Homo-oligomer: A and B are copies of this chain.
C-alpha cells in the first residue's frame, strides 16, 4: 500500500496525491476530493521513513534522560510525550543511566535516525564536546535541568536556588535553627546549596556551620549512609534534602534510628514524589513543575526546528512548596521505630 495505489485509484499522479496530503500547493477541488476519498477507502498512511528521507524533515524527536527510574524524569517524559503528540510528533526515548559514553552513543544513533531535534538531560560530566558539536552543526537541541558552563544552549530548568531558599525559609520561620542540608555533588545540588545558605544569611543567622552542609550521593543508599552517620552523631533540628533519592535515604535513616518526626527532627525535601503521602514520612516538598519542563522543552525545540529562534534561551520555571506533616506546621505525624 503506497502512494502509487492511491494515485491509481484516484486517477491522478502521485505528485497530486502528495500535494493533497501535505496541502502545500493548490489542488483543484475535484481532484482533491478524489484523492481524499481514495486515501480514506484504502486506509492509506504515508510512509514516514520515505518522507523523512526525501523531505529531510522528521516527525520524531529524540529524548535522552538520565535515569528513567527517577520519577522526576518519568513526569518530564510524559510532558514531552504529550506535547510532542499534540504536534503530531513522536519521541524516541533513550536512557543514559548517567553514563557519558551512553549519551554519546545515543546522540549518534538518534542523528542516524534523522530525528528532527534532541531534548537532552546531560550526564554530570564529560559530554560538553558532544553538545558543542551539536550546536556547531546547528542541530536543534534543548537541554533540561542542567546548564553547561561556557555553552549557551536552549535550556529548561527549575529555579533550584529559589526552591531551596523557600524550603529553608519555611523551616526558619517555623523556628528551626540547626538545619542540616544534604546535597549531591552535581550542578543542581550546588544551586540548591546556595539557596540553602542564602536563606540562612537573609534570616540573619549567618553562614550555616560547614558540619551541617553534607555531600550526599544521588543514590538512595549513599544518602542513607550520610544521614545515618549525621543523625547518630548529633541530631540537627531539621534537615533539608536536595533531591528525591536523598530524601528516601534520609527517611530510611529516620526509620531505623527511631527518630520522631517532626518532634525531634523536621524534614523538607527537594522534589515531590508520587505517593509522598504514603511514605513513612509524608514530607514537605519543593515540587518541580516536571510535566511543564517537558512541554516547555518541546515548545522551545519546535521553535528552534522551525527557525523561529535566534539566541539561546533559558527558561527557569518556578517551583512550589507542598506542605505536609514533616515540619509540624500542619498536622503532626509521629513515626515510631520497628519493634
Residues of A within 8 A of B (CB): 45-50, 52-53, 60, 68-69, 74-75, 77-78, 81, 90-95, 108-114, 220, 248, 251-252, 255, 274-275, 277-280, 282, 325, 331-336, 338-339
Contacts and interface: CB of A to CB of B under 8 A. Distances in A.
A114 B336 contact: no
Contacts of A111: 45
Contact of A92 (B75, B91, B325): B91
One complex includes copies of this chain to the number of 2
A278 B277 contact: no
Given A331-B338, A338-B331, A255 B274 contact: no
A21 to B, nearest CB: 12
Contact of A90 (B48, B49, B109, B277): B109
Given A252-B278, A332-B338, 18 more contacts: A45-B112, A49-B53, A49-B112, A49-B113, A50-B53, A60-B92, A60-B113, A68-B74, A68-B81, A69-B74, A69-B75, A69-B274, A78-B95, A81-B94, A90-B94, A278-B280, A279-B279, A336-B336
Contacts of A278: 248, 251-252, 255, 279-280
Contacts of A52: 49
A77 B65 CA distance: 13
B339 A332 contact: yes
9 A-B pairs with least C-beta separation: A93-B93, A48-B112, A332-B339, A251-B278, A49-B114, A45-B112, A49-B53, A92-B92, A248-B278
Most chain B CB atoms below 10 A, which of A92, A111, A112:
A112
Contact of A275 (B48, B50, B248): B248
Nearest to A277: B252
23 contacts: A45-B112, A47-B112, A47-B114, A48-B112, A48-B113, A48-B114, A49-B52, A49-B112, A49-B113, A68-B77, A68-B81, A81-B93, A81-B94, A90-B92, A90-B109, A91-B93, A251-B278, A279-B279, A325-B338, A331-B338, A331-B339, A333-B338, A334-B339
Contacts of A46: 112
B277 A279 contact: no
A255 B94 CA distance: 38
A108 B92 CA distance: 16
A326 to B, nearest CB: 12
A127 B128 CA distance: 45
A325 B256 CA distance: 13
Nearest to A92: B92
B339 A336 contact: no
A274 B68 CA distance: 13
A186 to B, nearest CB: 21
A220 B69 CA distance: 20
A332 B112 CA distance: 55
Contacts of A274: 69
A139 to B, nearest CB: 13
Contacts of A275: 220, 248, 279
